Amino acid sequence: MTATAAPERRASPRRRPPSPGAVPPLRTLLRWVYIGRVSIALGVFLGAIFNWFSADLTQLFVASIAVTAALIATTLSLWYSHFRIGAVGTTFLYGQAVFDLALVTAFVHISGPYNVFAALYILVIAFNTVLMPLANGLLVALLAGIVYAADVVFGHPVEIDAALLMQVAVFWVVAGATAYLASRVRVVGAAQETLVAELRRVRLEAGDILGNIKTGILTVAGDGRLVYANPTAADLLGLDSGRRDYPVLDLLEGIAPVLGDAIRRTVAEGRRVVRREGDAQVDGRVFPIGVSTTAVQVEEGQPPSVTVIFKDISDEKRLEALHLRTERLEAVAEIAASLAHEIKNPLASIRSAVEQLSRLAPPGADEKVLSGLVMRESDRLSRLLTEFMDFTRVRVTKSEKIDLVAVAEAGIRLARQHPDCPASAQIVLEAAHRPVGVEGDEDLLHRVVFNLVLNAVQASPANARVTVEVTASDPASLPAGMTVEAPRLVRVHDAGPGVADDILPRLFEPFVTGRAGGTGLGLAIVQRAVQAHRGAIFCDSRRGGTTFTIYIPARFSADGAG
């Protein structure tokens, strides 16, 4: 009969400790076998010595041989299973079983049949049934019964009787019962190990998520002590991420009153607060936050703990403002387009009539001077109306695949040729990769880059550096609440004094300008052109420079374009 060890019972020298409730590892069971084997052999040997004068010389000799063999075999087995690099296989386990059966048989032989040492067969069978699969354990039980019966029949003048057969049957019953119990323990242990591993995985994933999400999460105990704050919460509120278990409620109320009020209300009422908004002030910076809370009852009769979820909603507010501004501009544009058309036609007639009258006036006459003034102002008003009509007619008329880097280069070249661009202006294009492909209207995008670069040059000192960056952006870097498929980024940065605080909120509205002589339509046209490509433009301005950032999708769709 050939038996194979089950894979799960093979042990490597560095196996991790078992979970509580599982069958101990193979090496642990083997250590128990070694300890039990040497202890029993030494006990028998010491018993023989104490009965030296009454003991038979043959018994003393067998006991001496048995304890010596037990010590040698156990030492070699310990080295093989615990110090040698490699796994323990079936052959080794069979060798241990055969040796233990021989050792027990020697003790039974010198002490006589039907004595207490016969119970050691049951111990050997039970351990080997746990060490090996069921078939192997039953084979060991069969071998124990054969050896025991052979020693009783041939080693002693005893006939085979019911008592002997009953003891052999007990060997088999013990083997079967132990194998069944061991298999059930293995199943329960495997299920528990799986549960522990799953719980560990969930904890790691939860820790990973809480550590990397852009939303702040706080847990505050019912008495106002800080229990947990993820890195985002600590960064947003300026908290010490390493501190825990200290009163934090008053501090939170000073930083963000809406946060402290939401926590107090949840503790008092035991009900969640959903989407409250307010301002937070950290290191002189004021920004809006959205707050939601939920209560967790830890102990009956005690105030609940509160978990707070909040985030900086500055980008969302900016997007909402952009959408509202876009809708308002669309309505204004529709009305203004018809008005501009109606004004431009009679204006052309007025200019023509005044020009004719000026020809009739003698040179140097007041009529001649006034006629020239009227014609110049008519021309200026006509240009303004033309720009305004351009503003109202911004549409993607032709979409094609273009290189955004090439468009930026063309826009920079045109800006260099403008009279307002000094020869000393430093305009630098940064494009790590090219081409940066995009689908869109080349003329519109060219105008976007030109207007932004020209504005940057006009706002900067004579020798200042203007930087134009073009790249394929990572979607994760988009402002919160914004979705752009395969975003392309165009960023223009100048070194000017920044946009005035009273102008910044209305910067993209028509006729809003901070430059003397400006019409206030350039940035309005830029915004409409970007939105026509289903993109968005943002302005970050502070003392020492202004940055315009544009996101547009790589692929253009006429759906929703305007």
424 and 384 in one domain?
A: no
- The segments of the chain whose pLDDT lies below 70 read 1-23, 47-59, 112-116, 155-164, 168, 175-176, 179, 182-183, 186, 189, 204-207, 209-211, 241, 326, 329-342, 344-345, 361, 363-365, 383, 387-394, 516-519, 557-562
* One domain for residues 77 and 167: yes
Determine, yes or no, domain membership for 1.
no
pLDDT at 329 (0 to 100) = 67
Of 373, 392, 411, which residue sits at a domain end? 392
pLDDT reported for residue 57? 67
Q: Is 190 helix (H, G, I), strand (E, B) or coil?
A: helix
List, edge to edge, every strand of the sheet that includes 536-542.
426-430, 465-472, 487-493, 545-553, 536-542
Flag whether 558 is in a domain: no
The residues, ordered by sequence, that sit 6+ positions from 130 with a Cβ below 8 Å of its Cβ are 23, 29, 137, 178, 179, 182
pLDDT of residue 16: 47
Report the half-sphere exposure of 293 (CA within 13 A, side-chain side).
27
Q: Are 481 and 505 in contact (CB under 8 A)?
A: no
Q: Which amino acid is at 481?
A: G
Q: Is 293 found in the same domain as 154?
A: no
Residues 188 and 103 in one domain: yes
HSE toward the beta carbon, residue 166, CA cutoff 13 A: 4
pLDDT at 235: 86
Q: Compute the distance between CA of residue 458 and CA of residue 453 in angstroms, rounded to an integer.
A: 9
Distance, in Å, from the CA atom of 467 to the CA atom of 449, rounded to the nearest integer, reads 12
Q: Are residues 54 and 155 in the same domain?
A: yes
pLDDT on residue 5: 40
- Its domain, for residue 491, covers 400-553
DSSP string, 298-358: -STTSPPEEEEEEEE-HHHHHHHHHHHHHHHHHHHHHHHHHHHHHHHHHHHHHHHHHHHHH
Spatial distance between the Cα atoms of 205 and 212, rounded to a whole number of angstroms: 11
Q: Do 23 and 168 share a domain, yes or no?
A: yes
Using CA atoms, how far apart are residues 431 and 449, in angstroms rounded to an integer? 14
Structural contact between residues 118 and 108, judged by C-beta atoms closer than 8 angstroms: yes
308 and 322 housed in the same domain: no
Q: What is the pLDDT of residues 521-552, one digit of tens each?
A: 788 888 888 988 888 899 998 888 899 999 99
**The amino acid at 195:** L
Name the phi and psi angles at 277, rounded to 5: -120, 145
| 35 shares its domain with 175 | yes
Which of 215, 281, 273, 294 minimizes the C-alpha distance to 251? 281
pLDDT of residue 158: 62
Same domain, 347 and 418: no
Specify the number of domains making up the chain: 4
What pLDDT score was predicted for residue 360?
Answer: 72
Q: Is residue 561 part of a domain?
A: no
What one-character DSSP code corresponds to residue 247? Answer: B
The reported pLDDT for the residue numbered 335 is: 66
